[in-house]
Structure 1
């Protein structure tokens, strides 16, 4: 209620004067100018770390950490409380604002328009652009990843292949438990090209050097790429690098909070990504576009989707009220590719047909489906592109999370079960 606000934060947070000893919950609350319950809320949300006192009847806190939090509270707007039911994580990586998004404060679509995927990844990791940078993988890492992927059944999906490649690459890296920034950046620059190199090629060109987009193309399409096609693929990778706390990214941060090494944290993201509401969404849009091309119109295809109670793939996004900026940027590049014209027309037909009933805009999954369907790629190619691209974003979040207090991603459950204590169940 409005009349039950916590005590105001002092205008100037006092410096700790406790002779190096840890302080009690009451002392921490006094320093912060809040109630003891709020101190525990800070702990559950990862803003403070605590230790149990001997006997486990209370908690102690680092006075310097408490003072630092008090200073931050004066500078930052209040975050959502646990009662609000919304997890909030401070990040300097990606901002989504209206119908635009930014990487470290720079418009992401502009970055993708002027820089390669590798350059955008470096910007996301370090805040520094490295013109002309390319990622290469050690031969030993590629060898073990290829052997592992080649042993999988032929019907194995792309995310399974990439997950196995990531685990295999980890086994080839005895220094994977080094969580320093320099070591993790080294892992990032070799893991991504290893994932690409582990995929079987579609034709004779199994190159492992040059721009990453070209190396990925030959593993997704059996056609010779045009410059415009490679540019579209490279831009798609750059546009998809990160998108704030998507489900897979949150999983990665949870793993990093527990100090899992980078390969393991990436594997956590891969486990979440495989759902049809996340990384696999473009495959559904790809198949829909092929159906529209077969019918010559979107009307019966959309009707079948709605009749089956399914949402139309590639339309709408929970964080954008208008068109997904990633879709807009990718569609503009696809218009420069003559072979993409039929799929582009089919996509526009889908949007206009659906707009008669619901004001939904195209999202990046539909644009990605145009790219894959017009390039002779399998429906699962969009998922592969998504995984390779997003791995760079996951690394950025891993690095950021390693700089936070460990195990802070520990929300409290809201128990709604039977009231204890209950009698022991009978056999």
Structure 2
């Protein structure tokens, strides 16, 4: 148990003061090492009020951490853990900068939640716009791909094209990274082809305003979408139209209704980040090497395409479609188990109960009449598997309900995941840019033949 005298940070004349224990934790060292830093002149200390222990200037401690490279703590399983102030997952809930993520997603739009994650500030009504040059370059690159390419292929190519169109991409200052992120995300949406029709003037997702600025519009009501009657921004941009409305025609030819748009917007906000997922770790490794933000996003997209990560919702989509076709979950679940496959959309290693993201989306999907059959099929899957083991629904199953009910292709959930998570990768990149460069380089444990070995024969 932490002693009360060590529990709180103490303000002082030079700014925030840390106790010895807090200083050791921030540096990733033992308390004895802290006093070694003092003796070597690398840290200065002052006596705490009342004469008990020493205190240290927080800014000086952080500067030392950047110079020396603080060691990351280990998790309960012995794996390396990475300090982050972005997302916390605890007690079957998750939080963005300390605020319940499901409550944020229910009240605010995707863009507003992204701004909160990046800056810790809420900007009601914020909208992201795409630079015309970046959109044109991304569309040309995406248009050159074979027709059979999937959405993640298109997004990876679009990121590279947008990067090539941005001569300031190597500026890693905070303002530059944020400006680039606000323009990149709508550029990715604009680069995707419309479903069931060609792109045309005035279509959702057309070229945005030059500069990638974050424009403002009306804040949405809780669980709702931006006003569909808002006028387009000058130059044909849909700057006052939320990202969910721009993305919808890239996912389905069906005309959107307001509950469906609100559900898509909430899904985007819920999926922005989820701690150190595989793609986020890849993004942080790229940022540790001081790769520019576009390259960070490319690293994340490369990992996201795996069937155990972003593509998992596609497997759940196909399963739900089969359940609807065959009239029940029992034969479909049986076929999966007979083939030695996991039933998609069930269970999550970080939650003992239902995934809070799935719970939030299911409540919204219940308000959409055309989602009733797919939602019932999802509940049937959960109930069928519960006969042998309690496996709760995860967000992939909820995304599958949305995509099946909205006549979206199986890969639609992966597209939503990729667009949404781009903001999370940027949030982690911003953190990593403030750390010691190349700190995320583990040492290999060599298991090959011991040298010296003879040269192989010709």
TM-score, normalization by structure 1 = 0.83
Q: Which residue of 1 aligns with 2:32?
A: 10
2:137 corresponds to: 144
Pick one of 199, 203, 208 that aligns with 1:206.
203
Alignment of 1:23-34 (within 5 A): none
Equivalent residue for 1:242, pick from 257, 267, 273: 273
Cα shift at 1:310 = 0.4
Counterpart CA distance in 1 for 2:185 and 2:252 is 19
**Is 1:65 paired with 2:64?**
yes
Q: Does 1:167 align with 2:189?
A: no
Counterpart CA distance in 1 for 2:113 and 2:79 is 30
Q: What secondary structure, in the 3-state scheme, does the structure 1 residue paired with 2:402 have?
A: helix
- Counterpart position of 2:186: 193
Alignment length, in residue pairs?
374
Match for residue 158 of structure 1? 151
Report how far residue 65 of structure 1 moved: 2.1
Alignment of 1:388-403 (within 5 A): 388-403=419-434
Q: Does 1:374 align with 2:405?
A: yes
Q: Distance in 2 between matches of 1:181 and 1:387?
A: 23
Q: Which runs of 5+ in 1 are unaligned?
A: 1-6, 21-61
Cα shift at 1:421: 1.8
- Residue aligning to 1:80: 74
Report deviation, 1:417. 1.6
Q: Distance in 2 between matches of 1:201 and 1:66?
A: 48
- Residues 339 and 395 of structure 1: is their aligned pair in 2 closer, same or farther, counting only changes over 3 Å? same
Q: Does 1:279 align with 2:279?
A: no
The offset of 1:13, in angstroms, is 3.1
Q: Distance in 1 between matches of 2:404 and 2:373?
A: 10
Contact 1:15 1:67 in 2 (8 A): no
- C-alpha distance in structure 2 between counterparts of 1:120 and 1:233, whole Å: 14
Give TM-score scaled by structure 2 length: 0.78
Tell whether the 8 Å contact from 1:100 to 1:107 is kept in structure 2 after alignment: yes
Conserved 8 A contact 1:163-1:270: yes
Shift of 1:426: 2.4
Distance 1:8 1:301, change over 3 A: closer
**Equivalent pair of 1:15/1:64 in contact (CA under 8 Å):** no
- CA shift, 1:358, in A, is 1.6
Equivalences for 1:127-138 in 2 at 5 Å?
127-138=120-131
Cα 1:234/1:64, change in 2 over 3 Å: closer
**Residues 86 and 344 (structure 1 numbering): CA distance in 2 closer, same or farther, change over 3 Å?**
same
Residue 63 and residue 286 in structure 1: after superposition, are their counterparts in 2 closer, same or farther (change >3 A)? closer
Say whether the 8 Å CA contact 2:87–2:94 is kept in structure 1.
yes
Aligned counterpart for 1:92 among listed residues 78, 85, 108: 85
RMSD: 2.3
State the match for 2:300 in structure 1: 269
Q: How does 1:295-310 map to 2 (within 5 A)?
A: 295-310=326-341
Moved segments of 4+, more than 6 Å: 66-70
Distance in 1 (CA, whole Å) between partners of 2:268 and 2:62 is: 44
1:12 to partner: Cα distance:
6.0
Corresponding residue of 2:261: 230
Deviation at 1:423, TM superposition (A): 2.2
Q: Structure 1 CA distance, aligned partners of 2:62 and 2:39?
A: 8
Q: Which runs of 5+ in 2 are unaligned?
A: 1-28, 43-60, 206-237
